[in-house]
A = this chain, B = another copy of it.
Amino acid sequence: MPFVNIKITRDGATTEQKRQLIAGVTQLLVDVMGKNPATTTVIIDEVDTDNWGMGGESVTELRKPKS
């Protein structure tokens, strides 16, 4: 019955990578907690780099080459 929300920056995660995240975190909950995988929900949010801040700056800014 667990619910997992994974937020990552929108950077071109592939369908295959998303499948691996869903499968991997579901299995982790089985292995560590004995949870039922059938009712484990995973939602992946992909967030634009303008909308994600770290250290007071957007990720868009953080990734710009510093001169």
Contact = CB atoms under 8 A, between A and B. Distances in A.
Interface residues of A, number: 51
Given A27-B56, A51-B45, A5 B8 contact: no
Nearest to A45: B51
Contact of A40 (B9, B15, B32, B55): B55
Copies in the complex: 6
Given A1-B9, A2-B7, A3-B43, A37 B17 contact: no
Interface of A: 1-9, 13, 15, 17-29, 31-33, 35, 37-47, 50-61
5 contacts: A15-B58, A17-B33, A23-B56, A25-B28, A46-B51
